Chains A and B, each alone.
Chain A
Amino acid sequence: MTGRADDLFYTYIQMNIIKNKRPKNLNLLKIRMPVTAVVSILHRVSGIVLFLSIPYILWLLSNSLNSVEGFNYALSIVRSDFGKFISIVLLWAITHHFFAGVRFLLLDMDIAISRYVALKAAWLVQILVVITFVTLVFKVVV
């Protein structure tokens, strides 16, 4: 049994829900996010970066396979300062997307899904990304 005051209270809440006037505090810079959220957001960011790189990669592939001149031109682009910068960004993106993606595949199989293990796994992803990224940059770009 609910009294009249309760009825009014719930009506008030429902009206606010309908008007979407519930208080919001979604300033991403003020919210302290768990590492799992950071890994998830970076997975999305790296995916968008890789998506945007598709025309660049195909343009390089097209040039490099076309003729000797095109091959040398593609090499000169990749070896320029700007090309190196792009390569470093893309190496970070692919490394992060790979390790975070493997974590998502494991989560699909209910591996490392409980809260504390998930936090550790997300930290492990971050560490593996840094190690692999730095190694790749020194092996491939520098």
Chain B
Amino acid sequence: MSWQASGYRAWFLQRLSAIYIVACLFVVIGFLLFNSISSFYSWQSLFYAPVTNILVLLFFIAIMVHAWVGIRDVILDYVHNAIARVLMLNLLMLFLISMAVWVSYILFTLVKL
């Protein structure tokens, strides 16, 4: 059975994104234990460095990938009509891509080289 047809790819992406999301959340919790965000400027300046910016973007991409596999599974479980299923999967993909484009726009406009 191929990598894609067996569902192994979805399974693997689900786990990989989960681990990255959890790692990011622990970094954020660790940061918040020792620092406090007092003003708009200290909050905004966190996103200036390209490295942080891209790591935050990767965090959101990981969430979109994770949500894709998870909600896809929910749709496959409960929607049995083929047309409705294809329609919902496409809407889901459209929604997640829009969210990814939006978050890229939010983050990239802040980068200061």
Contact = CB atoms under 8 A, between A and B. Distances in A.
B22 A98 contact: yes
Interface in A31-55: 44, 47-48, 50-51, 54-55
Interface in B50-75: 63, 67, 70-71, 74
Nearest to B106: A62
A58 B103 CA distance: 7
Interface in A7-62: 44, 47-48, 50-51, 54-55, 58, 61-62
Interface in B85-106: 99, 102-103, 106
B17 to A, nearest CB: 11
B87 to A, nearest CB: 18
A105 B15 contact: yes
Contact of A54 (B18, B25, B74, B99): B99
Judged by DSSP, the binding face of A is helix
B15 A71 contact: no
A83 interface: no
Contacts of B70: 47, 51
Interface in A50-79: 50-51, 54-55, 58, 61-62, 64-65, 67-68, 71-72
Give the interface size bracket for A toward B.
Answer: 20 to 34
Contact of A58 (B25, B43, B106): B106
B74 A101 contact: no
A57 to B, nearest CB: 9
A71 B99 contact: no
B18 A65 contact: no
Given A50-B67, A54-B67, A55-B99, 7 more contacts: A54-B99, A64-B43, A65-B110, A72-B40, A98-B25, A101-B18, A105-B18
Interface of B: 15, 18, 22, 25, 40, 43-44, 47, 63, 67, 70-71, 74, 99, 102-103, 106, 110
